[in-house]
Amino acid sequence: MKKISPKVFTERLLKEYAGEICHLDWDKNRPWTLLFAVILSAQCTDKRVNMVTPHLFREFPDLESYVARPVEEIQSIIRSTGFFRSKAKALKGSAEKMLLEFKGQVPDTMEGLTSLPGVARKTANVILWNIYEKNEGFVVDTHVGRIARRTGLTNEKNPIKVEKDLMKQLPRNHWGEMSHMLVQFGRDTCKAPVPNCSECFFNDICPQKGVTRSR
């Protein structure tokens, strides 16, 4: 059976997707906009979130505005992202907690971030890398998990267990950027349910675990 070594996996991915960045639009002068965009991206496409956030960030330009205004106003803007009631509550709650406990700043630790409403480990990993360039963990979404299993880097389905396997095998200094690369690779080539294996740059070494049909 074909086998991909973590070293070759890393080398090829970095070569093919050099320069890949976060797919969510945000304002670097207002780092909290990335945090809120990631919260909105739960069970929603990045494309949809990027359609919603320009309006949201115009109407609610600072953390204070989320606290001062009714949650229903947030809900009306983010409705199309799904689960809008719980997401609006998370945005309002996170804004309030950052103002009260973090001097209006996005926390720069895993502990601080996961203390915010609506923020779990995956979200925290996105924030730590993109805002603070800290590689505390590996972001595992549906694309990353699928690719990791097909390439044989893990047999796990639980995202936390997949993350642990990837962290053991892949170089820490590339965790953040590789997570973005794998998301795009999953969209471009290693798709669900039918991957485009014939044009994949891993084709000669990928074991294609779990793949029953491909192009």
Q: Tell me the CATH architecture of domain 6-20+138-199.
A: Orthogonal Bundle (1.10)
Angle at 155 between CA 150 and CA 159, to 5 degrees: 95
Section 100-113 average pLDDT = 98
Judge whether residue 73 has pLDDT over 90: yes
In whole angstroms, how far apart are CA 78 and each of 29, 57, 91? 22, 11, 11
For the four alpha carbons of 200, 205, 206 and 212, in that order, the dihedral sign comes to: positive
- Indicate the domain borders of the chain: 6-20+138-199, 32-105
In CATH terms, 32-105 corresponds, of 3.40.718.10, 1.20.1250.20, 2.60.40.10, 1.10.340.30, to 1.10.340.30
Is residue 172 within 8 Å of 116, Cβ to Cβ? no
Residue 204: which pLDDT band, with cuts at 50, 70 and 90?
A: very high
103-141 residues labelled b (16+ CB within 10 A) or e (exposed): eeebbeebebbeebbbbebbbbbbbbbbbeebbbbbbbe
Could you check whether 6-20+138-199 and 32-105 share the same CATH topology? Answer: no
What's the pLDDT at 83?
Answer: 97
Single-letter amino acid code for the residue at 174? H
Predicted confidence (pLDDT) per residue in 123-176, tens digit? 999 999 999 999 999 999 999 999 999 999 999 999 999 999 999 999 999 999
The catalytic residue positions are: 122, 141
Predicted confidence (pLDDT) per residue in 12-63, tens digit? 999 999 999 999 999 999 999 999 999 999 999 999 999 999 999 999 999 9
